[in-house]
Structure 1
Amino acid sequence: MMKSNMAHAERPPVLQKKKRRSGTLFGMAWTLSPVTFWLVLFFIFPLLFILFISFATRGLYGGIEYTFTLENYTRFFDPLYLKILWDSILIAGFTTLICLVFGYPFAYIIAKSPKKYRNFLLMLVIVPFWTNSLVRTYAWIVLLRTEGVINMILLKIGIISEPLAMLYNHGAVMVGLTYTLFPFMVLPLYASIEQLDKSYLEAASDLGAKPWRAFTKITLPLTMPGIVAGCLLTFIPTLGLFFIPDLMGGSKSLLIGNLIKNQFLTARDWPFGSAASMILMVLTLIFILIYLRVGGNKKGIEVI
């Protein structure tokens, strides 16, 4: 017994540190194993399966023939599909810009409002999440259609003489997307503005800076992480949403999300739909890197 204790006492500190480190790593691995299993089973494996199918061939009756081909990717560069992709990027960009233009002042007002009103204003942003987005989209259809509420009110007031075509166009699609994704822009902006150190603004005011100059030189650069996060959370889902363009755009608004959905469910061309999904995913990663690079270069405060 005494010998074993002496051997334990004489063990080099390096071995003891390695043993503790291995125990810590084992504990971390055991703790993260459920999350890792979930990600592998429901994210990585389906993603690899989609990647594998994208190099396959569509069967005669809509099945999958596992013969290697690059035709699905080369087919996507047809001018028709490139136009759909370009329209999707434009609509996603305009939707993100609209959400940013209206969301930043709204988030700024919430962050600067008294605390007793702040929770109520935040609740107004979160309330739409209590209702299914599909139901809210149908509500917009009721409002914007030719026999809808808005046209009826305008006709009765006498502002218009005939109903306006406010539905089934790109404008209606952007209205639906903006309404659905507006909270995803406001919440990151609010978190960034609320954490802003007021001493910088007080110092700028003491130095004679006007409010607009203090906003452009201090507030805007310091809240850039919130702007980047809000743009990412708005732009990326806009590219993938398909039910809003389907319902509010009709046949005039075919976006990349609708194209992918139609390939899987209507045309039964899973290989081409998988290839389009992978291309969209690569483009999304490129946009993320661009946004992060732009946001990362604007962390400092310029001299007033």
Structure 2
Amino acid sequence: MNRDAGRLSLILLFAPFALWIGLLIVLPQIGIGYVSLREKVGINEYEYGFSNYMAFFGEPIYRNTLLRTAWMSILVTALALVMGFPVAYYIAKMARRQSRAALFLMCLIPLWVSDLVRAYGWIVLLRETGVISTTLVDLGIISQPVEMLYNDITVIIGLVYTVILFMIVPLVSTLQGMDDALLEAGYNLGGSRWTVFRRIIVPYAMPGIVSGCIITFMLAAGSYLTPILLGGKNSSWFTEQIYNQFITRYNWEYGATFGVLLLVFTSFVVWAGLKLTGQSLATTVAKD
């Protein structure tokens, strides 16, 4: 009877999670995949096949936009890692125990507001009549206001600011488990700071690095508001193509195809990253 009660408790515990995964992730993805295989040939008449996918690969602008999104997302991930690793290391190993919670809370502050508010905050700073341009004119550094929006650099800045927290959190969690005796042993054996960093810290932190890179890459590639608002018409982000197909052109078949391709392509990039680093999902995002 105790075994049955424990089994029932386990089922009730995981039921909300299973429903959430099934109803909000699995079923919608199946539906999107189904719609992507349809080709409208008449009023409420459809044929099924891979013509939508062939049309995608036959159009260079769609392919180039997907590759551009992937490349810029990888760049955003790399910058988030370079900027987030020192912050995470300081919080985990150098800051006093009493101040770690406060420092971690400061990293969470950007999440207190929505992506829309954060994007408009950057617009206020970087537009032609914004804070930075006006200040530079007042200081005499530049002679006239400069428009800093609507370019790739602005998009990258906005995305790094948005996703860097998701790089810091797994790094802090991983680095906190590293015994300081490992670092002391490395220095006692004659290792320099660079050697200790390369031979001890990085290998130990690799699960956190990979999990942070996976999360930030997927968030950057799937972002919509930040590239559109900060990049304008020049953003050329793949999620904008998906939005245009679904909402502007009302072509659900193409929109679903683009959505499936984005999922498949980003999953492939994550798989390639895991292979190159010798990691697995079990030792990164699913690590105990």
Report what 1:72 is aligned to: 52
Deviations 1:259-295, CA, capped at 9 Å, x for gaps: 1111111111111110111111111221222222233
- In the TM superposition, residue 22 of structure 1 has moved relative to its aligned partner by 8.4
1:214/1:169 CA distance change after superposition, 3 Å: same
Deviations 1:51-108, CA, capped at 9 Å, x for gaps: 1100112477xx8643213221011111111110111011101111111111111111
1:35/1:109 CA distance change after superposition, 3 Å: closer
2:47 match: secondary structure: coil
- In the TM superposition, residue 165 of structure 1 has moved relative to its aligned partner by 2.7
1:254/1:65 CA distance change after superposition, 3 Å: farther
- Which residue type is aligned with residue 47 of structure 2? T
1:158 match: secondary structure: coil
Computed over aligned residues only, the root mean square deviation of the Cα atoms, in angstroms, reads: 2.2
TM-score, structure 1 as length reference: 0.85
Report what 1:218 is aligned to: 200
TM-score, structure 2 as length reference: 0.90
- In the TM superposition, residue 125 of structure 1 has moved relative to its aligned partner by 0.3
Q: Is the 8 A contact 2:115 2:226 kept in 1?
A: no
Give runs of aligned pairs for residues 266-285 of structure 1, distance below 5 A: 266-285=248-267
Gaps of at least 5 residues in structure 2 are 284-288
2:236 match: secondary structure: coil
Q: Is the 8 A contact 2:127 2:147 kept in 1?
A: yes
Give runs of aligned pairs for residues 67-216 of structure 1, distance below 5 A: 67-77=47-57, 78-111=59-92, 112-216=94-198
Separation in structure 2 between the aligned mates of residue 65 and residue 108 of structure 1, nearest angstrom: 59
1:123/1:30 CA distance change after superposition, 3 Å: closer
Separation in structure 1 between the aligned mates of residue 53 and residue 146 of structure 2, nearest angstrom: 41
1:142/1:262 CA distance change after superposition, 3 Å: same
1:240/1:64 CA distance change after superposition, 3 Å: farther
Aligned length: 279
Q: Is the 8 A contact 2:126 2:149 kept in 1?
A: yes
1:66 match: secondary structure: strand
1:64/1:135 CA distance change after superposition, 3 Å: farther
- Which residue type is aligned with residue 220 of structure 1? V
2:48 match: secondary structure: coil
